[in-house]
Structure 1
Amino acid sequence: MFSKQGGFGQGVGRLLVLGLTGTVAGCGGGSAGNGYGYGYGNNYSRWGNPAGIPNQAKYAFVVNNGSNNLSEYSTNTGGGLTSMATLRTGNSPNSVAVNPARRYVYVTNLSDSTLEEYTVSSSGVISPLSTIATGNSPESVAIDPSGHYAYVGISTGIAQFNIGTNGLLTTMIGSPVATNGIAQSVAVDPLGQFVYVAIPNKNQLMVFGIGSTGGLSYLRTLATGSSPQSVAVDPTGQYIYVVNQLSNSLSQYTHT
């Protein structure tokens, strides 16, 4: 069962930065040069310490919408960043995600309607892997905790992909799953049971269940504030947070 707890007002706007998982994910919008970022490393403790990467943030990735590239940074123990590399992406990259094994990075390209894949070596070297079509206007990408499935919010629903052992994506049968409007932001709960989708043109948060093979099934729709832009889930999976752009508020929900 999901219920709305309330919200905060004033000055939340379009930016949501939550260190809910030991990582930091950010989403901003506006003029050319603004970036969308994802740092990885600590994640959920039950993911362990794969690929010999210490259980703390080592690298951060930022897609630069105005310059069509992906920036990579290394992080030190104090959280400072050092630039490592910049790679060309498709047109208008607007979201980035890292799989739990921390070996693959996924970038959505809004204007190209594609999802790009990159490999990350144990020393942090990032290299292009492949590109796959998503459907119109991919807005957000999220990876489930097992690292087996990827979900991309598009203009008419959620594109669903299987992730192979080599990191490559294949489209699931039945993809995309329809939503009530533009799937602006997609988040997966840390237990891999639910997908949450912010629908700004309907002022809604849609909830889907994740099946045994990764497919989504609709569960329910919750009211949000005006024009929800970003959704995040805390590490326990019990609390969900939604940023509402036009009402300058943060909606809170609980899963009991």
Structure 2
Amino acid sequence: MNKLLSIVLIGISLTAQAQSAKEIMYIGTYSLRGSEGIYVFEFDRKTGTMQPIQSVSNAKSPSFLAIHPSGKYLYSVNEGAAKTEGGVSAYTIDRATGKLTFLNGQSSLGAGPCHVSVDQTGKTAFVSNYGGGSLAVLPIKADGTLGEATDSVQDEGTGPNTQRQEKAHVHSATLAPDNRFVYVADLGIDKLNIYDIDVKASKIKPASTPYATVKPGSGPRHFTFHPNGKYAYLVEEMTSSVAVFSRNPQTGALTMLEDNVKTLPADFTGQNTSADIHIDPSGKFLYQSNRGYNALTIFAIGNDGKLTKVGDQPTEGKTPRNFLIDPKGEFVFVAHQDSDNITIFKRDQKTGKLTYTGQSVKVPAPVCVLMASSH
């Protein structure tokens, strides 16, 4: 009886712990219209609302964020740092409250850093310099601080769009599900460069198949993998389209399945650029944000990885940049750079369609939305 009672009590205690885990959200912004820097919110899943916890002062446009796999640290690129060299900052996360404390900063070795990612071991950060057309590889120390860059790659080349592709523009670096490769999207040269990673040394080298190319003038921006690891999807910013690839897990090589899959309705005639791309946790639906049309495009993903358009969801704001599908697949949060708000949508897990909850949170020039659980 006592043993049974103790098992029951342990069960109750674990349930209470699970329920008390707060869902914390981090918002990266541009330093415009009074933005203080990085904003921290708590998400209440029952009411579907976000409550402000903290704003962290950073006047250098901490636009894109990444959370360390341990959940103890957060990293931001500082896109508005000195014109020649951008920066990247490290923060500790208070696991009880979700609040941030500045740790240290390092150079990104290039101008206009716009994306940061961290490998699954938590030992290496990859920083994409849009302005500089380069990728910097920085070691992460045991205390979460960033070391000086141990490796970097400078892209060279141009594309047919002389205004946007006058030189290389590295836009993102995405880790493969197996953590063996990093895929670097370069908007300026219409390439996805593929690198082998040595996470212990924080070094990279070109993979045996070193890149995949897309239709000239497409403008590769962000990249995401299907949960099964077999397929991958690329935002083509300038053609408002998506490219679909299959992936060889041994070599990391990509094979094009579909290129320039259109995301906009046929009757849309305005100006538009695509921004972000995410797949729901079940791997059944893909979403892509469109700036100008101001909507998320929704695709169903077939067993062969190919896409069928389901519809478009207006995002209730202007210039939707990054967006977040919460880890349970129930909600979608959209950051609007030009209307200074984040809008919240409920997601139908069967159809993939979205319903606006009516909840809109004011944040100046939001760019990036992340979620973490605190304990």
One fold, TM greater than 0.5? Answer: yes
Provide the rounded CA distance (Å) in 2 between the counterparts of 1:16 and 1:234.
17
| Structure 2: stretches of 5+ with no match in the other structure | 1-47, 56-60, 85-110, 157-167, 265-271, 349-375
Return the alpha-carbon distance in structure 1 between the equivalents of residues 228 and 176 of structure 2. Answer: 8
Selected match of 2:204 from 101, 126, 130: 126
Q: Which has the higher contact order (CA 8 A, sep 6+)?
A: 1
Corresponding residue number in structure 2 for 1:222: 313
Aligned pairs for 1:18-167 (under 5 A) are 19=67, 22=71, 33-35=111-113, 36-41=115-120, 54=121, 57-82=122-147, 83-90=149-156, 91-121=168-198, 123=200, 124-129=202-207, 130-135=210-215, 136-154=218-236, 155-165=239-249, 166-167=251-252
CA separation in 1, counterparts of 2:204 and 2:133?
Answer: 16
- Residue 17 (str. 1) matches residue 65 (str. 2): yes
Partner in structure 2 of residue 182 of structure 1: 273
Question: What is residue 42 of structure 2 aligned with on the other side?
Answer: none
**Per-residue deviation, 1:237:** 2.3
Give the CA RMSD over aligned residues: 2.8
The aligned length equals 235
3-state SS, counterpart of residue 328 of structure 2:
coil
**1-side partners of 2:337 and 2:62: how far apart?**
5
Q: Which moved more, 1:221-230 or 1:30-39?
A: 30-39
Partner Cα separation in structure 1 for residue 231 and residue 219 of structure 2: 20
Preserved contact between residue 199 and residue 227 of structure 1 (Cα < 8 Å): yes
- Could you tell me the percent identity over the aligned residues? 24
Greater C-alpha radius of gyration: 2
Alpha-carbon contact 1:14-1:229 (below 8 Å) kept: no
Give yes or no for contact 2:65–2:74 (8 Å, CA) kept in 1. Answer: yes
TM-score norm. by structure 1 comes to 0.80
**Given the superposition, is the C-alpha separation of residues 64 and 248 from structure 1 closer, same or farther in structure 2, using an over 3 Å criterion?**
same
| Range with greater deviation from structure 2 (61-70 or 182-191) | 182-191
Q: What TM-score do you get using the length of structure 2 for normalisation?
A: 0.56
Distance in 2 (alpha carbons) for counterparts of 1:214 and 1:27: 32
Q: How many Å apart are 1:191 and its aligned residue?
A: 2.8
How many Å separate the matches in 1 of 2:225 and 2:76? 16
In the aligned structure 2, how far is the partner of 1:204 from the partner of 1:88? Answer: 34
Q: Per-residue displacement from partner, 1:200-245 (whole Å, max 9, x unpaired)?
A: 0101011112211211111221111101111222222222221111
